[in-house]
Amino acid sequence: MDRELPVVIPAYEPDNRIFPLLKNLIERDCFIIVVDDGSGAACRDIFEKISELIADNGVVLHHEKNCGKGRALKTAFSYILEQMPEAIGAVTADSDGQHTDKAIHAVKQAMREHGNALILGTRSFEKRADEKGKIPWKSAFGNKVTVTVVSYVLGIRISDTQTGLRGIPVSFLKELLYVRGERFEFETEMLIASLNKYPIVEVPIETIYDSATEHQTHFNPLIDSGKIYLALGRHFIKFMLSSMSATILDFTVFTILCHFLRRADNVLYISVSTVLARVISAVYNYLINYKVVFRSEENMKKAGAKYAGLAVLQMICSAMLVTVGMLLLPGSREVIMKAFVDTLLFLISYKIQQKYVFRKREGRKI
């Protein structure tokens, strides 16, 4: 029995689709951990059958009440870390029939080949001719939007951001116990937590939907999507707060320096105060972005040189674009024009810092 890579299946009010998967996993000699996420009395018979079926090949863990997919996964991770010292990681899969034993096996193989990577079993969201394989338009559209947002905010291009089929190394399991997220947003928080620590490897898997109308999910489009985008927003807000605090520091240092350097017969102190304040605030902003926002692996001096170059370029672009804007729209106010230009440059700067200054590990397909 393969206790090195147990298969974790969180289940909330599962139906009979779970049994063929469990039987196939048993034939592949997998150790299976099913988490009953507070499904209630109506599902007692199903979980009794599951317990009997996997009695020699796994365990069923129970929540008294529904706690969410993220909490169910953490419960399984705790069990693995406490009860399975031989485990080198875990593979998570859904209980609704979307993940086959073949796909799970492919992820397990990828885990053995890429020991310290986060493995994602990724579905194709392209339209298919046969009705059985047709992807619900809401799922396809939602995935495209999330892929775009994840690519911009996290700097990683993943074709299936919400896949539940994942291979997670044991060192990451320990960290994930303390990662926020109790429901579906936990899988997004997992991606954020992996940045610059665990490379992402994508394994293409078969896309299975019973039909666009029959496929059942406990994913709430409004609540759960909101939590996913909130998780991504928190990551971007770190960058905003870093920039805002650097601006406040710049103004504060400038004010203090002007107070001590002010001379009635010489206004040179203004230039000196401006430059010194900007250097101090830039160093502060660089360190926060390097250590906290992007958690960079880039050489610190090399990243610092690139950051300095970007800061100078951004300042030049700001001056030029505001000037051009005023020439094209002579009736505009300089402050409004500068606010618009600097906001645009701020968004572009985030991407440049993410992609080139504080480089991240890219996802890979195999």
Q: Is 309 found in the same domain as 289?
A: no
Rounded Cα gap, residues 16 and 14, in angstroms:
7
Q: Is 285 found in the same domain as 319?
A: no
Q: Which tokens sit at 258?
A: 């002007």
Please state whether beta strands 166-169 and 89-92 pair in parallel, antiparallel, or not at all (unpaired). Answer: antiparallel
> Which CATH number does the domain housing residue 136 bear?
3.90.550.10
Instruction: Name the pLDDT band for 129 (thresholds 50, 70, 90).
Output: very low
The 3-state secondary structure of 192-260, one letter per residue: HHHCCCCCEEEEECCCCCCCCCCCCCCCCCCHHHHHHHHHHHHHHHHHHHHHHHHHHHHHHHHHHHHHH
What is the number of structural domains in the chain? 3
Average pLDDT over the chain reads: 86
Q: Is 95 found in the same domain as 32?
A: yes
Q: Is 120 found in the same domain as 202?
A: yes
| Closest to 165 in 3D by CA, of 225, 96, 68 | 96
197 found inside a domain: yes
pLDDT value, residue 68: 93
225 found inside a domain: no
Rounded Cα gap, residues 343 and 345, in angstroms:
5
Q: Is 244 found in the same domain as 158?
A: no
Q: Check if the beta carbon of residue 35 is closer than 8 Å to that of residue 11.
A: yes
Q: Is 210 found in the same domain as 264?
A: no
pLDDT value, residue 361: 54
Q: Which tokens sit at 72?
A: 């169910």
Which pTM does this prediction carry? 0.77
Q: Is 98 found in the same domain as 15?
A: yes
Q: Is 134 found in the same domain as 249?
A: no
> What does the radius of gyration of the chain's CA atoms come to, in whole angstroms?
26
Domain final residue, candidates 190, 219, 248? 219
Amino acid at 349: S
Q: Is 121 found in the same domain as 7?
A: yes
**Is residue 363's pLDDT more than 60?**
no
Find all residues with CB under 8 Å of 203, minimum gap 6, and list them: 103, 106, 107, 110, 119, 120, 121, 122, 365, 366
226 found inside a domain: no
70 found inside a domain: yes
Tell me the average pLDDT across 218-238.
77
pLDDT value, residue 304: 93
- Environment class of 51 (CB within 10 Å of its CB; exposed 0-12, middle 13-18, buried 19+): middle
230 found inside a domain: no
Q: Is 336 found in the same domain as 197?
A: no
Q: Check if the beta carbon of residue 111 is closer than 8 Å to that of residue 98.
A: no
Tell me the average pLDDT across 94-99.
87
pLDDT value, residue 3: 92
Find all residues with CB under 8 Å of 266, minimum gap 6, and list them: none
| Closest to 18 in 3D by CA, of 62, 63, 54, 71 | 54
Domain final residue, candidates 293, 312, 333? 293
Tell me the average pLDDT across 227-256.
88
| Segment 4-48, tens digit of pLDDT | 999 999 999 998 889 999 999 999 999 999 999 999 999 999 999
Domain final residue, candidates 253, 276, 293? 293
366 found inside a domain: no
228 found inside a domain: no
Tell me the average pLDDT across 96-119.
93
Helix or strand run (H / E) with residue 365: strand 364-365
**Is residue 215's pLDDT more than 90?**
no
- Environment class of 109 (CB within 10 Å of its CB; exposed 0-12, middle 13-18, buried 19+): middle
Q: Which residue has the tokens 């600097």?
A: 342
Give the SS3 label for residue 331: coil
169 found inside a domain: yes
pLDDT value, residue 218: 62
Q: Is 164 found in the same domain as 17?
A: yes
Give the SS3 label for residue 266: strand
**Is residue 323's pLDDT more than 60?**
yes
Q: Is 252 found in the same domain as 161?
A: no
The 3-state secondary structure of 89-130, one letter per residue: EEEECCCCCCCCHHHHHHHHHHHHHCCCCEEEEECCCCCCCC
Q: Check if the beta carbon of residue 194 is closer than 8 Å to that of residue 176.
A: no
Domain span at residue 168 reads: 2-219
For residue 16, which phi and psi values (nearest 5 degrees)?
Answer: -70, -10
Rounded Cα gap, residues 35 and 55, in angstroms:
14
DSSP state of 263: B
Which residue blocks in 35-180 are alpha helix, DSSP H? 44-53, 69-83, 101-113, 137-154, 170-176
**Is residue 223's pLDDT more than 80?**
no
| Segment 348-360, tens digit of pLDDT | 999 899 888 987 5
